Amino acid sequence: MVDLGGLGDKAKEFASSDKGEQVSDGALDRASDAADSATGGKFDDKIDGARDAADDKIGD
């Protein structure tokens, strides 16, 4: 079996690193762009707010 005991800690460390911040920002940007495109920009303010809230939870 695989030992997953330290995996959560490693994920938290990566997310708080500069590289992790870049990766998460890029993923959130792509997701919000896709949502904007799918809705024709109709909910741009709400999507941007959700993107920023998710970034606050994930990032620094």
Q: What is the pLDDT of residues 7-60, one digit of tens each?
A: 878 877 887 788 888 999 999 999 999 999 999 999 999 999 999 999 998 865
- Whether residue 13 is contained in a domain is answered as no
What's the confidence (pLDDT) of residue 6?
Answer: 82
- Whether residue 42 is contained in a domain is answered as yes
Q: How many domains, in total, are found in the chain? A: 1
- Whether residue 10 is contained in a domain is answered as no
- Whether residue 23 is contained in a domain is answered as yes
What's the confidence (pLDDT) of residue 12?
Answer: 78
What's the confidence (pLDDT) of residue 3?
Answer: 64
The residue range of the domain holding 42 is 19-58
- Whether residue 1 is contained in a domain is answered as no
pTM over 0.95: no
Determine how many CB atoms are found less than 10 A away from the CB of residue 59: 14
Contacts of 33 (CB under 8 A, 6+ apart): none
What's the confidence (pLDDT) of residue 38?
Answer: 97
Q: Given a cut of 70, is residue 5 above it in pLDDT?
A: yes
